[in-house]
């Protein structure tokens, strides 16, 4: 899908305010409401916009501990990766899992009530025998930067915006 400067402005704007009205969005990107709506619909239909979310500050509701976990698998066959990925996909406390190139296989972000519960989660994953060889735990003591938006303007330029 070809994106122009208006499309990029729409994407940057709705990342910051997913509840913005179409009229305000049109004003913000300096385009009339009808073409803005058509562009937004095209971005949604094309899968560029995959959804709209509300950001919840869990610490205002319940105590929460965030843990980053590096995981190395015992074996590296396709079935081993699939078994691990299926297991962590179904674990609700694993809120993010990334396959990593280099010395580790995965980096997970786990959100849980406390360290004891985190250890129970890891013990359960180990008992399920999903192929974990070793894991390294890092307790998040203070979030420094946590953006929900992607820096589109930093990742694109005029040639990128016009690529098919």
More confident residue, 17 or 85: 85
- 110-120 pLDDT, tens digit per residue, is 999 999 999 99
Name, in order, each residue with C-beta under 8 angstroms of 106's C-beta and a sequence gap of 6 or more. Answer: 70, 71, 73, 84, 88, 97, 98, 99, 100
- 26-67 pLDDT, tens digit per residue, is 999 999 999 999 999 999 999 999 998 888 888 899 999 999
Q: What is the pLDDT of residue 1?
A: 82
This prediction has a pTM of 0.79
d(CA 19, CA 52): 8
Quick one: tokens of 147? Answer: 């953006």
Q: Give the count of alpha carbons within 13 A of 74, CB side only.
A: 10
Q: What is the pLDDT of residue 111?
A: 96
Question: How much is the mean pLDDT over the chain?
Answer: 91
133 phi and psi, to 5 degrees? -90, -50
Q: What is the pLDDT of residue 161?
A: 47
Q: What is the pLDDT of residue 157?
A: 65
More confident residue, 106 or 164: 106
Would you place residue 132 in the very low, low, confident or very high pLDDT band (cuts 50, 70, 90)? very high
Q: What is the pLDDT of residue 164?
A: 46
């Amino acid at each position: 899908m070809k994106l122009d400067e208006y499309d990029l402005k729409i994407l940057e704007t709705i990342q910051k305010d997913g509840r913005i009205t179409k009229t305000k969005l049109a004003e913000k990107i300096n385009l009339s409401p009808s073409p803005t709506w058509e562009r937004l619909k095209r971005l949604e239909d094309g899968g560029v916009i995959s959804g709209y979310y509300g950001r919840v500050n869990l610490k205002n509701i319940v105590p929460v501990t965030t843990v980053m976990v590096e995981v190395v698998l015992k074996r590296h066959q396709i079935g081993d990766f699939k078994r691990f990925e299926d297991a962590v996909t179904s674990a609700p406390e694993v809120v993010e899992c990334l396959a990593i190139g280099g010395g580790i296989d995965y980096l997970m972000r786990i959100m849980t009530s406390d360290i004891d519960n985190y250890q129970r989660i890891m013990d359960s994953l180990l008992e399920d025998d999903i192929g974990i060889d070793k894991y390294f735990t890092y307790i998040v003591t203070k979030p420094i930067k946590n953006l929900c938006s992607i820096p589109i303007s930093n990742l694109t330029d005029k040639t990128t915006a016009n690529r098919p």
